[in-house]
């Protein structure tokens, strides 16, 4: 494919012709790209600083943030349910009387909470097909319309069976956002921004959880159905915001290239960058990366994720996402309920849970500072080690026999949970999405993310079943001893992570393709040199 040469310095005025126009049809040789274009693009990807990238790609930042709004809805719904279990009006209308107070039974808690993890399993797999057929943009818009429709069932539900239907149907669509958002974010930004924009997905999870806690705290004192109907209705706000901005969103240039729509891909790249950026080298690099993966037989089906060329990449993606679950993230949804069971009154429990998530918000912002300065591997493993220690301490405190000081122990455990959430949200939470997007082959990214999401959600189903039985007073009543359970699992995960998670910071997708194909050892990724 013959491509005209031109200056690719970020600051030069772009030429008026498109790469599509530059290609002479008679000269097309499939898979051959001008090496100078790719070399220039790769060099500029490496040389660009974070702040320079923000100035040159402000619209890419904006649209990445926009597509991540779906994650806020994904996080809002399960967090909402966890809070409603501690809301008196919801307990009265949907629960039963137990030892003088109303509670929602563990089986129904499990059933209602199944909507999110089951939805992620089914939604993640189903989303990849329309994403490849119709593009990331159209798939996102259709899912938002469906979400807005299913909220009606939750809003008007006055019995557990109807609410269960609303949660399951809503969860099927919410699960798609966990695939769409990281895929889109990783495809519209340069290397310098990739870590921040993909880790922002974790911040959206925290924002969704934090907003759910705030709304539930504000409505929890109501004595009518509005104590839970109003929080359900608040989900329409995000649907409205997304649908208003949806018509103006650009499509992923990587998807357009794979459809052979090079002119549209170049137009999309121009919309994602400032006027000072010449996007032709970037487009050439996208085409070359796609050609390389075709040459390497990376494939584009779910089965290809498990072929020898991709098996290691899929293992890492699945592993880092699954560690979110086994290190205790599903406790976040039960934070308020956990605090009430630990002995705090409802008002203080809501205050503690809001503080819990606020520290998570700060932790995710802090991760951006770390991602600019340090590698993904060191942040991830260090944070995971801290989670192991904190969870084990929480479990040990619950074994203290001196019950005269029980209030002090409760506050100590609650405070450690706050620290745990801060550590999680500067390491395992956000860095997971960075690694997930960087280790997957570009042609298989949506499917690799879907497989990882499905496995993570399957483990989430197990935790959704187990946690109510572990912490409910009419069941195991484990309280803080649950720290032993998650601390032990996180310890095993830390050993796996140390030996299997490589350093991917500062590498283009083409470089990562080559390094994985050459079988570079995990601890050699950081220093490995490519000619």
Looking at 327-405, list the stretches that DSSP marks H as alpha helix, in order from N- to C-terminal side.
335-342, 346-373, 376-397
Cα–Cα distance between 387 and 478 in angstroms, integer?
A: 19
Residue 102, SS3 per DSSP: strand
Q: Tokens at residue 212, please?
A: 């759910």
User: CA nearest 60: which of 253, 336, 204, 228?
Assistant: 253
What single string gives the DSSP state of each residue in 1-28? ---------TTSPPPSS-HHHHS-GGG-
Q: Tokens at residue 507, please?
A: 């590498």
Query: Residue 312: what pLDDT?
Result: 94
What single string gives the DSSP state of each residue in 492-510? HHHHHHHHH----TT--HH
Q: Which of 31-40, 309-318, 401-410 has the lowest mean pLDDT?
A: 31-40
Q: What are the two backbone dihedrals, phi and then psi, of residue 212, each rounded to the nearest 5 degrees?
A: -60, -45
Query: Residue 18: what pLDDT?
Result: 44
Average pLDDT over the chain reads 81
Cα–Cα distance between 513 and 285 in angstroms, integer?
A: 13
Do 357 and 440 meet the contact criterion of CB atoms below 8 Å apart?
no
Query: Residue 44: what pLDDT?
Result: 63
Query: Residue 31: what pLDDT?
Result: 42
Q: What DSSP designation does 528 have?
A: -
Does residue 241 surpass a pLDDT of 70? yes
Q: What kind and span of H or E run contains 103? A: strand 101-103
Query: Residue 142: what pLDDT?
Result: 94
User: CA nearest 276: which of 7, 14, 47?
Assistant: 14
Cα–Cα distance between 299 and 134 in angstroms, integer?
A: 19
User: CA nearest 452: which of 349, 316, 354?
Assistant: 316
Q: Which residue has the tokens 């005209």?
A: 4
Q: Tokens at residue 61, please?
A: 């930042």
Residue 226, SS3 per DSSP: helix
Query: Residue 410: what pLDDT?
Result: 73
pTM score, two decimals? 0.75
Do 202 and 429 meet the contact criterion of CB atoms below 8 Å apart?
yes
Q: 369-379 in b/e burial notation, b at 16+ Cβ within 10 A?
A: ebbeeebbbeb
pLDDT, tens digit (0-9, with 9 covering 90-100), for 7-33: 333 344 343 344 444 433 334 343 444
For residue 423, the number of C-alpha atoms closer than 13 Å in the C-beta half-sphere is 19
Do 224 and 231 meet the contact criterion of CB atoms below 8 Å apart?
no
Q: Tokens at residue 455, please?
A: 């496995």
pLDDT, tens digit (0-9, with 9 covering 90-100), for 194-217: 888 888 888 888 888 888 878 887
What single string gives the DSSP state of each residue in 127-143? HHHHHHHH-HHHHHHHH
Question: Could you tell me what percent of the chain has a pLDDT over 90?
Answer: 27
Which residues 6+ apart lie within 8 Å of 340 measured at CB? Answer: 86, 346, 349
Confidence grade of residue 521 (pLDDT, cut at 50, 70, 90): very high
Do 182 and 449 meet the contact criterion of CB atoms below 8 Å apart?
yes
Size (the chain), residues: 531
pLDDT, tens digit (0-9, with 9 covering 90-100), for 427-455: 999 999 899 988 988 788 888 888 998 89
What single string gives the DSSP state of each residue in 43-96? HHHHH--HHHHHHH-HHHHHHHHHHTHHHHHHHHHHHHHHHHTT-HHHHHHH-E
Do 404 and 340 meet the contact criterion of CB atoms below 8 Å apart?
no
Confidence grade of residue 472 (pLDDT, cut at 50, 70, 90): low
Cα–Cα distance between 132 and 254 in angstroms, integer?
A: 11
Do 312 and 516 meet the contact criterion of CB atoms below 8 Å apart?
yes
What value does the mean pLDDT take over residues 366-371?
A: 92
Which residues 6+ apart lie within 8 Å of 287 measured at CB? Answer: 1, 33, 257, 262
Cα–Cα distance between 465 and 470 in angstroms, integer?
A: 9
Q: Which residue has the tokens 């499917």?
A: 447
User: CA nearest 411: which of 390, 394, 396, 425?
Assistant: 394
């Amino acid at each position: 494919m013959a491509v005209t040469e031109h200056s690719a310095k970020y600051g030069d005025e772009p030429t008026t012709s498109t790469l599509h126009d530059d290609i002479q049809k008679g000269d097309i040789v499939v898979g051959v790209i001008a090496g100078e274009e790719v070399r220039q693009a790769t060099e500029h990807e490496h040389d660009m600083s974070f702040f320079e990238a923000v100035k040159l790609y402000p619209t890419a930042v904006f649209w990445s943030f926009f597509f991540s709004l779906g994650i806020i809805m994904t996080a809002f719904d399960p967090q909402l349910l966890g809070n409603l279990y501690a809301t008196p009006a919801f307990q009265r209308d949907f629960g039963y009387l137990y030892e003088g107070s109303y509670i929602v039974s563990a089986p129904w808690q499990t059933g209602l909470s199944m909507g999110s993890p089951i939805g992620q399993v089914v939604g993640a797999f189903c989303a990849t097909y329309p994403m490849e057929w119709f593009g990331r943009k159209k798939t996102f818009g259709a899912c938002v319309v469906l979400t807005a429709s299913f909220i009606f069932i939750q809003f008007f539900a006055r019995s557990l069976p109807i609410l269960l239907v609303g949660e399951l149907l809503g969860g099927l669509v919410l699960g798609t956002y966990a695939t769409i958002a990281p895929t889109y974010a990783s495809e519209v930004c340069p290397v310098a921004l990739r870590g921040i924009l993909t880790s922002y997905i974790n911040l959206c999870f925290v924002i969704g959880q934090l907003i759910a806690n705030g709304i539930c705290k504000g409505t929890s004192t109501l004595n009518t159905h509005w104590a839970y109907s109003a929080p359900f209705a608040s989900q329409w706000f995000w649907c409205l915001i997304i649908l208003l901005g949806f018509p103006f969103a650009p499509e992923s240039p990587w998807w357009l290239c794979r459809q052979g729509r090079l002119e549209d891909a170049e137009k999309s790249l121009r919309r994602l960058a400032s006027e000072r950026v010449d996007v032709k080298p970037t487009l050439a690099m996208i085409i070359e990366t796609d050609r390389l993966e075709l040459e390497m037989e990376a494939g584009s089906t779910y089965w290809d994720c498990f072929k020898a060329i991709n098996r290691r990449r899929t293992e890492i993606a699945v592993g880092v996402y699954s560690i979110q679950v086994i290190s205790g993230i599903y406790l976040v949804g039960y934070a308020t309920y956990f605090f009430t069971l630990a002995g705090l009154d409802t008002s203080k429990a809501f205050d503690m849970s809001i503080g819990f998530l606020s520290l998570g918000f700060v932790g995710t912002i802090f991760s951006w500072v770390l991602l600019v300065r340090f590698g993904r591997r060191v942040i991830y493993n260090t944070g995971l080690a801290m989670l192991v220690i904190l969870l084990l301490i929480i479990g040990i405190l619950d074994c203290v026999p001196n019950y005269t000081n029980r209030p002090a122990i409760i506050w100590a455990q609650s405070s450690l949970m706050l620290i745990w959430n801060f550590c999680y949200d500067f390491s395992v939470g956000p860095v997971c999405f960075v690694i997930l997007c960087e280790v997957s082959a570009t042609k298989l990214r949506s499917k690799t993310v879907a497989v990882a999401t499905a496995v993570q959600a399957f483990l989430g189903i197990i935790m959704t079943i187990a946690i109510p039985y572990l912490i409910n007073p009419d069941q195991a009543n484990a309280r803080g001893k649950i720290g032993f359970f998650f601390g032990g699992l996180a310890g095993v995960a830390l050993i796996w992570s140390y030996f299997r998670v490589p350093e991917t910071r500062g590498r283009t997708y083409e470089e990562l393709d080559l390094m994985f194909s050459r079988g570079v050892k995990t601890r050699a990724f950081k220093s490995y040199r490519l000619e």
